[in-house]
Structure 1
Protein backbone atom coordinates (compact mmCIF):
# COMPACT_ATOMS: atom_id res chain seq x y z
CA UNK A 1 0.00 0.00 0.00
CA UNK A 2 2.83 2.34 0.91
CA UNK A 3 4.35 1.73 -2.48
CA UNK A 4 1.14 2.92 -4.13
CA UNK A 5 0.76 6.10 -2.05
CA UNK A 6 2.91 8.30 -4.34
CA UNK A 7 0.73 7.32 -7.33
CA UNK A 8 -2.47 7.93 -5.39
CA UNK A 9 -1.24 11.38 -4.37
CA UNK A 10 -0.26 12.16 -7.96
CA UNK A 11 -3.70 11.19 -9.25
CA UNK A 12 -5.34 13.26 -6.53
CA UNK A 13 -3.21 16.32 -7.37
CA UNK A 14 -4.01 15.98 -11.08
CA UNK A 15 -7.75 15.68 -10.42
CA UNK A 16 -7.65 18.69 -8.11
CA UNK A 17 -5.73 20.73 -10.68
CA UNK A 18 -8.20 19.77 -13.41
CA UNK A 19 -11.13 20.73 -11.17
CA UNK A 20 -9.65 24.11 -10.27
CA UNK A 21 -8.75 24.84 -13.88
CA UNK A 22 -12.25 23.99 -15.06
CA UNK A 23 -13.80 26.07 -12.29
CA UNK A 24 -11.63 29.06 -13.12
CA UNK A 25 -12.31 28.66 -16.83
CA UNK A 26 -16.07 28.63 -16.31
CA UNK A 27 -15.89 31.71 -14.10
CA UNK A 28 -13.68 33.44 -16.66
CA UNK A 29 -16.07 32.66 -19.52
CA UNK A 30 -19.06 33.79 -17.56
CA UNK A 31 -17.73 37.25 -16.83
CA UNK A 32 -18.65 40.33 -18.78
CA UNK A 33 -16.06 42.45 -20.51
CA UNK A 34 -14.83 45.07 -18.03
CA UNK A 35 -13.81 47.89 -20.36
CA UNK A 36 -12.86 48.85 -23.90
CA UNK A 37 -9.58 50.49 -24.88
CA UNK A 38 -8.39 51.88 -28.21
CA UNK A 39 -4.73 52.26 -29.13
CA UNK A 40 -3.58 54.06 -32.29
CA UNK A 41 -0.35 52.67 -33.69
CA UNK A 42 1.21 56.04 -34.43
CA UNK A 43 1.11 59.41 -32.70
CA UNK A 44 -0.57 61.59 -35.29
CA UNK A 45 -3.63 63.64 -36.11
CA UNK A 46 -6.77 61.57 -35.84
CA UNK A 47 -8.82 61.10 -38.99
CA UNK A 48 -10.96 58.75 -36.91
CA UNK A 49 -11.34 59.43 -33.18
CA UNK A 50 -11.27 57.05 -30.25
CA UNK A 51 -14.93 57.85 -29.64
CA UNK A 52 -15.80 56.82 -33.20
CA UNK A 53 -13.95 53.52 -32.78
CA UNK A 54 -15.75 52.87 -29.52
CA UNK A 55 -19.09 53.36 -31.25
CA UNK A 56 -18.11 50.75 -33.81
CA UNK A 57 -17.40 48.23 -31.06
CA UNK A 58 -21.05 47.21 -30.93
CA UNK A 59 -22.45 43.73 -31.41
CA UNK A 60 -26.16 42.89 -31.80
CA UNK A 61 -27.02 46.45 -30.67
CA UNK A 62 -25.52 45.83 -27.24
CA UNK A 63 -22.71 47.71 -25.58
CA UNK A 64 -19.62 45.54 -25.68
CA UNK A 65 -19.19 45.82 -21.91
CA UNK A 66 -22.54 44.07 -21.42
CA UNK A 67 -21.50 41.04 -23.46
CA UNK A 68 -20.22 37.84 -21.87
CA UNK A 69 -16.69 37.07 -23.08
CA UNK A 70 -17.45 33.71 -24.65
CA UNK A 71 -20.25 35.20 -26.79
CA UNK A 72 -18.13 38.01 -28.25
CA UNK A 73 -17.23 37.45 -31.89
CA UNK A 74 -13.80 39.08 -32.15
CA UNK A 75 -13.55 38.43 -35.89
CA UNK A 76 -16.83 40.25 -36.49
CA UNK A 77 -15.80 43.24 -34.37
CA UNK A 78 -12.43 43.38 -36.15
CA UNK A 79 -14.14 43.20 -39.54
CA UNK A 80 -16.40 46.13 -38.63
CA UNK A 81 -13.39 48.27 -37.78
CA UNK A 82 -11.47 47.27 -40.92
CA UNK A 83 -14.45 48.30 -43.07
CA UNK A 84 -14.32 51.86 -41.75
CA UNK A 85 -13.27 54.43 -44.37
CA UNK A 86 -10.54 55.91 -42.17
CA UNK A 87 -9.00 52.69 -40.83
CA UNK A 88 -6.22 50.86 -42.65
CA UNK A 89 -5.94 47.95 -40.25
CA UNK A 90 -7.37 46.95 -36.87
CA UNK A 91 -6.55 44.14 -34.47
CA UNK A 92 -9.04 43.31 -31.72
CA UNK A 93 -8.24 41.07 -28.74
CA UNK A 94 -9.25 40.26 -25.16
CA UNK A 95 -6.82 40.54 -22.26
CA UNK A 96 -6.71 37.97 -19.46
CA UNK A 97 -8.32 40.40 -17.04
CA UNK A 98 -11.38 40.88 -19.23
CA UNK A 99 -10.58 44.04 -21.17
CA UNK A 100 -11.32 44.46 -24.87
CA UNK A 101 -8.50 46.15 -26.79
CA UNK A 102 -8.46 47.52 -30.32
CA UNK A 103 -5.13 48.36 -31.97
CA UNK A 104 -5.89 50.69 -34.87
CA UNK A 105 -3.77 51.91 -37.77
CA UNK A 106 -5.28 54.84 -39.65
CA UNK A 107 -5.13 55.38 -43.39
CA UNK A 108 -2.50 57.93 -44.43
CA UNK A 109 -3.44 60.54 -47.09
CA UNK A 110 -0.61 61.69 -49.37
CA UNK A 111 -2.56 64.04 -51.67
CA UNK A 112 -5.96 65.69 -51.92
CA UNK A 113 -8.11 65.99 -55.04
CA UNK A 114 -9.98 69.29 -55.33
CA UNK A 115 -12.52 70.33 -57.92
CA UNK A 116 -15.81 68.70 -58.85
CA UNK A 117 -15.37 66.26 -55.98
CA UNK A 118 -12.90 66.28 -53.12
CA UNK A 119 -11.17 63.28 -51.59
CA UNK A 120 -7.76 62.02 -50.55
CA UNK A 121 -5.39 59.62 -52.24
CA UNK A 122 -3.90 57.43 -49.53
CA UNK A 123 -0.41 55.94 -49.27
CA UNK A 124 -1.62 52.69 -50.85
CA UNK A 125 -2.96 54.48 -53.92
CA UNK A 126 -6.62 54.16 -52.91
CA UNK A 127 -9.35 56.77 -52.76
CA UNK A 128 -9.99 57.98 -49.21
CA UNK A 129 -12.86 60.29 -48.16
CA UNK A 130 -12.22 63.54 -46.34
CA UNK A 131 -12.34 63.40 -42.57
CA UNK A 132 -14.65 65.64 -40.52
CA UNK A 133 -12.06 65.62 -37.74
CA UNK A 134 -8.89 66.80 -39.45
CA UNK A 135 -7.69 68.22 -42.75
CA UNK A 136 -4.34 66.84 -43.91
CA UNK A 137 -1.64 69.17 -45.21
CA UNK A 138 -0.78 67.36 -48.43
CA UNK A 139 -0.22 68.41 -52.06
CA UNK A 140 -3.39 69.33 -53.94
CA UNK A 141 -4.40 67.51 -57.12
CA UNK A 142 -6.22 69.39 -59.91
CA UNK A 143 -7.94 67.84 -62.91
CA UNK A 144 -8.44 64.42 -61.35
CA UNK A 145 -11.38 62.17 -60.58
CA UNK A 146 -11.74 58.78 -58.94
CA UNK A 147 -11.34 57.14 -62.36
CA UNK A 148 -7.91 58.64 -63.17
CA UNK A 149 -6.34 59.63 -59.84
CA UNK A 150 -4.24 56.46 -59.71
CA UNK A 151 -2.23 57.82 -62.66
CA UNK A 152 -0.55 60.35 -60.38
CA UNK A 153 0.03 57.95 -57.48
CA UNK A 154 3.70 57.17 -58.36
CA UNK A 155 4.49 60.90 -58.37
CA UNK A 156 2.67 61.73 -55.14
CA UNK A 157 4.20 58.72 -53.40
CA UNK A 158 7.68 59.86 -54.41
CA UNK A 159 6.98 63.39 -53.17
CA UNK A 160 5.69 62.04 -49.87
CA UNK A 161 8.90 60.09 -49.26
CA UNK A 162 11.22 63.00 -50.04
CA UNK A 163 11.63 65.81 -47.50
CA UNK A 164 12.82 68.38 -50.04
CA UNK A 165 9.94 67.75 -52.45
CA UNK A 166 7.37 67.65 -49.65
CA UNK A 167 8.57 71.06 -48.51
CA UNK A 168 8.46 72.70 -51.93
CA UNK A 169 5.73 71.07 -54.05
CA UNK A 170 2.20 72.23 -53.24
CA UNK A 171 0.17 70.81 -56.13
CA UNK A 172 0.10 68.50 -59.14
CA UNK A 173 -2.07 69.45 -62.10
CA UNK A 174 -3.30 67.05 -64.80
CA UNK A 175 -3.21 68.80 -68.16
CA UNK A 176 -5.56 68.19 -71.08
CA UNK A 177 -2.97 65.95 -72.75
CA UNK A 178 -2.90 63.68 -69.68
CA UNK A 179 0.54 64.83 -68.55
CA UNK A 180 1.48 66.50 -65.30
CA UNK A 181 2.61 69.89 -64.10
CA UNK A 182 3.89 70.76 -60.63
CA UNK A 183 3.26 73.92 -58.63
CA UNK A 184 5.76 75.22 -56.07
CA UNK A 185 5.48 77.06 -52.78
CA UNK A 186 6.31 80.80 -52.94
CA UNK A 187 7.53 80.62 -56.55
CA UNK A 188 5.49 81.66 -59.58
CA UNK A 189 7.02 79.34 -62.21
CA UNK A 190 5.48 76.00 -63.09
CA UNK A 191 7.35 72.72 -63.52
CA UNK A 192 6.37 70.61 -66.52
CA UNK A 193 6.84 67.02 -65.40
CA UNK A 194 5.38 65.20 -68.40
CA UNK A 195 4.33 61.58 -67.98
CA UNK A 196 4.71 59.59 -64.76
CA UNK A 197 7.92 57.90 -65.89
CA UNK A 198 11.64 58.31 -65.06
CA UNK A 199 10.40 59.83 -61.81
CA UNK A 200 13.64 59.45 -59.89
CA UNK A 201 15.70 60.99 -62.70
CA UNK A 202 13.35 63.94 -63.19
CA UNK A 203 13.16 64.82 -59.53
CA UNK A 204 16.90 64.52 -59.03
CA UNK A 205 17.39 66.86 -61.99
CA UNK A 206 14.88 69.28 -60.51
CA UNK A 207 16.58 69.30 -57.11
CA UNK A 208 19.96 69.93 -58.70
CA UNK A 209 18.49 72.78 -60.78
CA UNK A 210 16.72 74.30 -57.78
CA UNK A 211 19.80 74.35 -55.57
CA UNK A 212 21.94 75.85 -58.35
CA UNK A 213 19.36 78.53 -59.22
CA UNK A 214 18.89 79.35 -55.54
CA UNK A 215 22.65 79.77 -55.10
CA UNK A 216 22.83 82.00 -58.18
CA UNK A 217 19.72 83.95 -57.03
CA UNK A 218 17.90 83.22 -60.29
CA UNK A 219 14.81 81.34 -59.11
CA UNK A 220 12.56 84.35 -59.71
CA UNK A 221 13.79 84.82 -63.28
CA UNK A 222 12.05 81.74 -64.70
CA UNK A 223 8.55 81.32 -66.06
CA UNK A 224 8.61 77.59 -66.74
CA UNK A 225 10.88 74.62 -66.04
CA UNK A 226 10.65 71.49 -68.17
CA UNK A 227 11.84 68.13 -66.81
CA UNK A 228 10.86 65.79 -69.64
CA UNK A 229 14.12 65.88 -71.60
CA UNK A 230 16.24 63.18 -70.00
CA UNK A 231 19.31 64.48 -68.20
CA UNK A 232 18.71 68.14 -68.86
CA UNK A 233 16.40 70.76 -67.39
CA UNK A 234 15.01 73.21 -69.95
CA UNK A 235 14.08 76.60 -68.51
CA UNK A 236 12.04 79.42 -70.00
CA UNK A 237 12.77 82.88 -68.64
CA UNK A 238 10.20 85.56 -67.98
Structure 2
Protein backbone atom coordinates (compact mmCIF):
# COMPACT_ATOMS: atom_id res chain seq x y z
CA UNK A 1 0.00 0.00 0.00
CA UNK A 2 2.85 2.33 0.84
CA UNK A 3 4.49 1.62 -2.50
CA UNK A 4 1.25 2.39 -4.34
CA UNK A 5 0.92 5.69 -2.52
CA UNK A 6 4.51 6.65 -3.34
CA UNK A 7 3.97 5.68 -6.96
CA UNK A 8 0.79 7.76 -7.09
CA UNK A 9 2.58 10.80 -5.65
CA UNK A 10 5.37 10.38 -8.19
CA UNK A 11 2.91 10.24 -11.09
CA UNK A 12 1.13 13.30 -9.71
CA UNK A 13 4.41 15.22 -9.45
CA UNK A 14 5.29 14.36 -13.07
CA UNK A 15 1.83 15.48 -14.16
CA UNK A 16 2.21 18.77 -12.28
CA UNK A 17 5.59 19.45 -13.92
CA UNK A 18 4.17 18.74 -17.38
CA UNK A 19 1.22 21.03 -16.66
CA UNK A 20 3.51 23.86 -15.49
CA UNK A 21 5.71 23.54 -18.57
CA UNK A 22 2.69 23.57 -20.87
CA UNK A 23 1.17 26.54 -19.05
CA UNK A 24 4.44 28.51 -19.17
CA UNK A 25 5.00 27.72 -22.84
CA UNK A 26 1.46 28.73 -23.76
CA UNK A 27 1.76 31.93 -21.76
CA UNK A 28 5.11 32.69 -23.41
CA UNK A 29 3.64 32.13 -26.87
CA UNK A 30 0.84 34.59 -26.17
CA UNK A 31 3.18 37.24 -24.81
CA UNK A 32 3.21 40.38 -26.91
CA UNK A 33 6.33 41.76 -28.56
CA UNK A 34 6.83 45.12 -26.87
CA UNK A 35 10.28 46.14 -28.11
CA UNK A 36 12.34 45.94 -31.29
CA UNK A 37 16.13 46.24 -31.23
CA UNK A 38 18.08 46.78 -34.46
CA UNK A 39 21.80 46.10 -34.63
CA UNK A 40 24.05 46.87 -37.60
CA UNK A 41 27.05 44.56 -37.89
CA UNK A 42 30.37 44.75 -39.74
CA UNK A 43 29.72 48.24 -41.07
CA UNK A 44 31.11 51.58 -39.97
CA UNK A 45 28.71 53.82 -41.92
CA UNK A 46 24.95 53.52 -42.14
CA UNK A 47 23.59 53.51 -45.68
CA UNK A 48 20.24 52.45 -44.25
CA UNK A 49 18.94 53.71 -40.90
CA UNK A 50 16.83 52.21 -38.12
CA UNK A 51 13.71 54.06 -39.31
CA UNK A 52 13.92 52.38 -42.70
CA UNK A 53 14.45 48.97 -41.11
CA UNK A 54 11.45 49.53 -38.87
CA UNK A 55 9.34 50.35 -41.92
CA UNK A 56 10.49 47.12 -43.55
CA UNK A 57 9.39 45.23 -40.44
CA UNK A 58 5.83 46.41 -40.96
CA UNK A 59 3.60 43.87 -42.66
CA UNK A 60 0.27 45.05 -44.06
CA UNK A 61 0.48 48.24 -42.03
CA UNK A 62 0.67 46.22 -38.77
CA UNK A 63 3.92 46.58 -36.82
CA UNK A 64 5.73 43.61 -35.37
CA UNK A 65 5.38 45.12 -31.91
CA UNK A 66 2.24 44.11 -30.00
CA UNK A 67 1.87 41.07 -32.24
CA UNK A 68 1.55 37.69 -30.54
CA UNK A 69 4.74 35.70 -30.98
CA UNK A 70 2.80 32.68 -32.19
CA UNK A 71 1.65 34.56 -35.31
CA UNK A 72 5.02 36.14 -36.15
CA UNK A 73 6.89 34.09 -38.77
CA UNK A 74 10.52 35.12 -38.47
CA UNK A 75 11.74 33.77 -41.80
CA UNK A 76 9.13 35.88 -43.59
CA UNK A 77 10.35 38.94 -41.68
CA UNK A 78 13.94 38.15 -42.71
CA UNK A 79 12.97 37.70 -46.36
CA UNK A 80 11.24 41.08 -46.25
CA UNK A 81 14.41 42.73 -44.96
CA UNK A 82 16.67 40.94 -47.42
CA UNK A 83 14.70 42.34 -50.37
CA UNK A 84 16.05 45.82 -49.61
CA UNK A 85 18.91 46.74 -51.95
CA UNK A 86 21.04 48.13 -49.10
CA UNK A 87 20.89 44.91 -47.06
CA UNK A 88 23.14 41.92 -47.72
CA UNK A 89 21.82 39.70 -44.96
CA UNK A 90 19.59 39.84 -41.88
CA UNK A 91 19.03 37.70 -38.83
CA UNK A 92 15.76 38.16 -36.93
CA UNK A 93 15.05 36.37 -33.66
CA UNK A 94 13.06 36.63 -30.43
CA UNK A 95 14.42 36.72 -26.90
CA UNK A 96 12.74 34.91 -24.02
CA UNK A 97 11.36 38.18 -22.65
CA UNK A 98 9.55 39.02 -25.87
CA UNK A 99 12.09 41.35 -27.48
CA UNK A 100 12.47 41.19 -31.25
CA UNK A 101 16.05 41.62 -32.43
CA UNK A 102 17.17 42.25 -36.00
CA UNK A 103 20.86 42.01 -36.91
CA UNK A 104 21.52 43.77 -40.22
CA UNK A 105 24.58 43.37 -42.47
CA UNK A 106 24.69 46.10 -45.08
CA UNK A 107 26.09 45.73 -48.57
CA UNK A 108 29.54 47.27 -49.09
CA UNK A 109 30.07 49.60 -52.08
CA UNK A 110 33.44 49.60 -53.88
CA UNK A 111 32.70 52.25 -56.53
CA UNK A 112 30.15 54.85 -57.56
CA UNK A 113 29.07 54.93 -61.20
CA UNK A 114 28.28 58.38 -62.60
CA UNK A 115 25.26 57.55 -64.79
CA UNK A 116 21.93 59.28 -65.55
CA UNK A 117 20.76 57.58 -62.36
CA UNK A 118 23.97 57.14 -60.33
CA UNK A 119 24.50 53.89 -58.45
CA UNK A 120 27.06 51.97 -56.44
CA UNK A 121 28.77 48.71 -57.30
CA UNK A 122 29.17 46.46 -54.25
CA UNK A 123 31.82 43.89 -53.33
CA UNK A 124 29.91 41.14 -55.13
CA UNK A 125 29.73 43.08 -58.41
CA UNK A 126 26.03 43.87 -58.09
CA UNK A 127 24.54 47.33 -58.31
CA UNK A 128 22.97 49.13 -55.36
CA UNK A 129 21.28 52.54 -55.09
CA UNK A 130 22.83 55.60 -53.54
CA UNK A 131 22.00 56.32 -49.92
CA UNK A 132 20.32 59.42 -48.52
CA UNK A 133 22.17 58.85 -45.25
CA UNK A 134 25.80 58.53 -46.26
CA UNK A 135 28.01 58.94 -49.34
CA UNK A 136 30.69 56.27 -49.63
CA UNK A 137 34.27 57.41 -50.24
CA UNK A 138 34.91 55.17 -53.23
CA UNK A 139 36.31 55.75 -56.74
CA UNK A 140 34.02 57.48 -59.23
CA UNK A 141 33.47 55.53 -62.44
CA UNK A 142 32.62 57.43 -65.63
CA UNK A 143 31.32 56.38 -69.05
CA UNK A 144 30.30 52.92 -67.83
CA UNK A 145 26.75 51.63 -68.20
CA UNK A 146 25.08 49.12 -65.93
CA UNK A 147 25.61 46.33 -68.48
CA UNK A 148 29.36 47.09 -68.51
CA UNK A 149 29.74 46.77 -64.73
CA UNK A 150 30.74 43.11 -65.02
CA UNK A 151 33.60 44.12 -67.33
CA UNK A 152 35.11 46.76 -65.03
CA UNK A 153 34.33 45.00 -61.75
CA UNK A 154 37.62 43.00 -61.51
CA UNK A 155 39.52 46.31 -61.62
CA UNK A 156 37.21 47.90 -59.04
CA UNK A 157 37.60 44.94 -56.72
CA UNK A 158 41.38 45.07 -57.17
CA UNK A 159 41.41 48.75 -56.18
CA UNK A 160 39.25 48.02 -53.15
CA UNK A 161 41.46 45.15 -51.93
CA UNK A 162 44.84 46.78 -52.56
CA UNK A 163 45.79 49.42 -49.97
CA UNK A 164 48.13 51.25 -52.35
CA UNK A 165 45.51 51.55 -55.11
CA UNK A 166 42.79 52.35 -52.60
CA UNK A 167 44.86 55.24 -51.29
CA UNK A 168 45.78 56.74 -54.68
CA UNK A 169 43.02 55.95 -57.21
CA UNK A 170 39.98 58.22 -57.10
CA UNK A 171 38.42 57.70 -60.54
CA UNK A 172 38.06 55.20 -63.37
CA UNK A 173 37.15 56.25 -66.92
CA UNK A 174 36.24 54.04 -69.89
CA UNK A 175 37.29 55.70 -73.17
CA UNK A 176 35.78 55.24 -76.64
CA UNK A 177 38.13 52.35 -77.37
CA UNK A 178 36.94 50.44 -74.33
CA UNK A 179 40.23 51.02 -72.52
CA UNK A 180 40.35 52.28 -68.95
CA UNK A 181 42.12 55.30 -67.49
CA UNK A 182 42.75 55.95 -63.81
CA UNK A 183 42.70 59.27 -61.97
CA UNK A 184 45.08 59.87 -59.07
CA UNK A 185 44.34 61.63 -55.80
CA UNK A 186 47.49 63.78 -55.79
CA UNK A 187 49.51 63.75 -59.01
CA UNK A 188 48.03 65.05 -62.25
CA UNK A 189 49.39 62.58 -64.76
CA UNK A 190 47.02 60.25 -66.58
CA UNK A 191 47.30 56.52 -65.95
CA UNK A 192 46.29 54.50 -68.99
CA UNK A 193 45.40 51.06 -67.66
CA UNK A 194 44.14 49.62 -70.95
CA UNK A 195 41.89 46.59 -71.05
CA UNK A 196 40.84 44.69 -67.94
CA UNK A 197 43.51 42.01 -68.20
CA UNK A 198 46.81 41.08 -66.55
CA UNK A 199 45.68 42.99 -63.45
CA UNK A 200 48.37 41.71 -61.09
CA UNK A 201 51.19 42.37 -63.54
CA UNK A 202 49.99 45.89 -64.37
CA UNK A 203 49.50 46.81 -60.72
CA UNK A 204 52.93 45.44 -59.82
CA UNK A 205 54.55 47.47 -62.62
CA UNK A 206 52.73 50.63 -61.58
CA UNK A 207 53.82 50.26 -57.95
CA UNK A 208 57.44 49.76 -59.00
CA UNK A 209 57.32 52.83 -61.26
CA UNK A 210 55.67 54.94 -58.57
CA UNK A 211 58.17 54.04 -55.88
CA UNK A 212 61.14 54.73 -58.15
CA UNK A 213 59.72 58.05 -59.42
CA UNK A 214 58.86 59.08 -55.87
CA UNK A 215 62.41 58.37 -54.79
CA UNK A 216 63.78 60.30 -57.78
CA UNK A 217 61.29 63.14 -57.15
CA UNK A 218 60.17 62.93 -60.78
CA UNK A 219 56.43 62.25 -60.42
CA UNK A 220 55.59 65.86 -61.37
CA UNK A 221 57.41 65.51 -64.70
CA UNK A 222 55.01 63.05 -66.29
CA UNK A 223 51.97 63.75 -68.42
CA UNK A 224 50.91 60.16 -69.05
CA UNK A 225 51.85 56.75 -67.69
CA UNK A 226 50.71 53.77 -69.74
CA UNK A 227 50.29 50.28 -68.29
CA UNK A 228 48.69 48.83 -71.41
CA UNK A 229 51.62 46.54 -72.08
CA UNK A 230 51.98 43.67 -69.65
CA UNK A 231 55.72 43.84 -68.98
CA UNK A 232 56.53 47.54 -69.20
CA UNK A 233 55.53 51.04 -68.19
CA UNK A 234 55.60 53.70 -70.92
CA UNK A 235 55.84 57.29 -69.69
CA UNK A 236 55.23 60.56 -71.51
CA UNK A 237 57.03 63.67 -70.24
CA UNK A 238 55.18 66.99 -70.04
Q: Answer yes or no: same fold by TM over 0.5.
A: yes
What whole-Å deviation, never above 9, does each CA across 1:90-112 have from its counterpart, x for those lacking one?
A: 11111111010100000111000
Query: 1:98 and 2:98 equivalent?
Result: yes
Alpha-carbon shift at residue 122 of structure 1 (Å): 0.7
What whole-Å deviation, never above 9, does each CA across 1:165-193 have from its counterpart, x for those lacking one?
A: 11100111111111211111121111111
Query: 1:218 and 2:218 equivalent?
Result: yes
Structure 1 CA distance, aligned partners of 2:226 and 2:71?
63
Structure 2 CA distance, aligned partners of 1:113 and 1:106?
19
Residue 69 of structure 2 aligns with which residue?
Answer: 69
Alpha-carbon shift at residue 73 of structure 1 (Å): 1.7
Q: TM-score when scaled to structure 1?
A: 0.96
Structure 2 CA distance, aligned partners of 1:17 and 1:202?
72
User: Aligned ranges for residues 105-144 of structure 1 at < 5 Å?
Assistant: 105-144=105-144
Describe the SS at the equivalent of 2:77. helix
Q: Give the number of equivalent residue pairs.
A: 238
Instruction: Give the aligned CA root-mean-square deviation in angstroms.
Output: 1.3
Alpha-carbon shift at residue 5 of structure 1 (Å): 4.4
Query: 1:191 and 2:200 equivalent?
Result: no
Structure 2 CA distance, aligned partners of 1:186 and 1:218?
14
Structure 1 CA distance, aligned partners of 2:173 and 2:149?
11
Q: TM-score when scaled to structure 2?
A: 0.96
Structure 2 CA distance, aligned partners of 1:174 and 1:166?
19
Query: 1:179 and 2:196 equivalent?
Result: no
Alpha-carbon shift at residue 135 of structure 1 (Å): 0.7
Q: Which runs of 4+ in 1 moved over 2 A?
A: 1-10
Describe the SS at the equivalent of 1:63. coil
For structure 2, the residue ranges without an aligned partner over 5 or more in a row are none
For structure 1, the residue ranges without an aligned partner over 5 or more in a row are none
Note if contact 1:47-1:106 (Cα within 8 Å) is conserved in structure 2.
yes
Query: 1:38 and 2:38 equivalent?
Result: yes
